[in-house]
Amino acid sequence: MINLLLAVTLSTTWFIIFRLFRTFKVNIFPAVVINYCVCVLTGVVVFGWENTLGKLASASPWLVYALMLGAFFISTFYLTAYSIEKIGVTLTTVSAKISLVLTVFVNLFVLESASKSFDFFNYSGIFFAIVAIVLSSIQPKNNDNIAEKSFWWLPLVVFSLTALVDISISSIKAIYIQPEQSTLFTILTFASAASIGVVILSAQLVSKQVKMTQKEWIGGLALGVPNFFSLFYLLKTLEDFKNDGAFLFPIFNIAIILASSFIAVTLFKEKLSRLNVLGLILAIFSIFLIAYQEILRYL
C-alpha cells in the first residue's frame, strides 16, 4: 500500500509541475527531453552503477521491450501534445483516460493477471470509473475548437498509445521483470525515451524550431526525479498486487484524478463544474466497488 501511495503522489506531482510549466510559459518538449535524461541520472546516482547499468547483461531477455516502451513513452507524449493543439484539451484528455477500458480488458482476458475473480460489483466499479474519468475531464468552460475534421484520427491514436503504454508495463513486468530488475528496467526505459528525444530536439534546435532557455532546464530537472520514481514505485506496486493490472490501473488512475483535482482546487484555485464534482463522487464510489473485497478484509 505504501508503494501505491508513493506512485500516486509522485504521479500527481507531474500535475503540479506541468501546471507550473503553463504558468511560467516553459517550452514543454525540451523540458520533457531534459526530464528523461535526469531520470536516467537519478536512477544511476541513487542506486549506483553496479546495481543498475553494471548489470546490463542481465537485461538481455527483455532489453528490446524496455527500449520499445521508451519509444512509446515519448511518442505518446508528443502525439498527446499535438492532439491538444489540434483538437483541444477535453477530447484529448478523455481519449487518453478511457484507454483504461482496453488496459483492463487485456489484463483480465489476455494476460489473465487478475488475482481474484471479478464479480458484478467489480465490473460495475470499472464502468463507474470510466464514467467518472469522462465527467472529471470535462472543462467547466470549454473553449476547445476543432479546427479541421482531418484530425479525427488523433483521439484514436492517443487512446491506442496510452493503452499500449499501460498494457506494456503490466505485461512486461508480469512476464519478464524480476523484482531485483525493476530499477534497471526503469532506467533503460527512460534512456530509450531520452535518446529518441535528444535526436528530435537536436533537429529542432538546428532548424531553430525551438529555443532552450533556463526555464526549460529548471523544468526538466524538477520533473525528472519524481518522474523516475513514479514509474519505479508503479512497478513495485504491481509486485505488491501480484501483477494484477486489472485491479491496480483503475485504482491508480482514479486516485491520481482525485489527488490532482484536490490540488487544482486548493493550490491553484481552479473551479470545478457540477459535472466535475459528480465525476469525483463517482470516482470514490468506483474505488469501493472495485476493491470492496480487500476493504472488507481489513475491516
Give the separation between CA 131 and CA 98, rounded to whole angstroms. 9
Question: What local confidence, expressed as pLDDT, does residue 282 receive?
Answer: 92
Residue 176 CB neighbour total at 10 angstroms: 15
Q: CB–CB of 93/154 below 8 Å?
A: no
User: Nearest 5°: CA angle at 268, between 265 and 272?
Assistant: 35
Q: CB–CB of 80/88 below 8 Å?
A: no
CA atoms within 13 A on the CB side of 270: 18
Query: Which residues of the chain are under the pLDDT cut of 70?
Result: 85, 88-91, 114, 139-149, 298-299
Q: Which amino acid is at 215?
A: K
Give the separation between CA 255 and CA 280, rounded to whole angstroms. 10
CA atoms within 13 A on the CB side of 64: 1
Q: What is the pTM of this model?
A: 0.85
Q: How many residues does the chain have?
A: 299
Question: What local confidence, expressed as pLDDT, does residue 89 receive?
Answer: 62
Give the separation between CA 82 and CA 183, rounded to whole angstroms. 31
Cα–Cα nearest to 152, from 101, 103, 92: 92
CA atoms within 13 A on the CB side of 230: 20
Question: What local confidence, expressed as pLDDT, does residue 147 receive?
Answer: 46
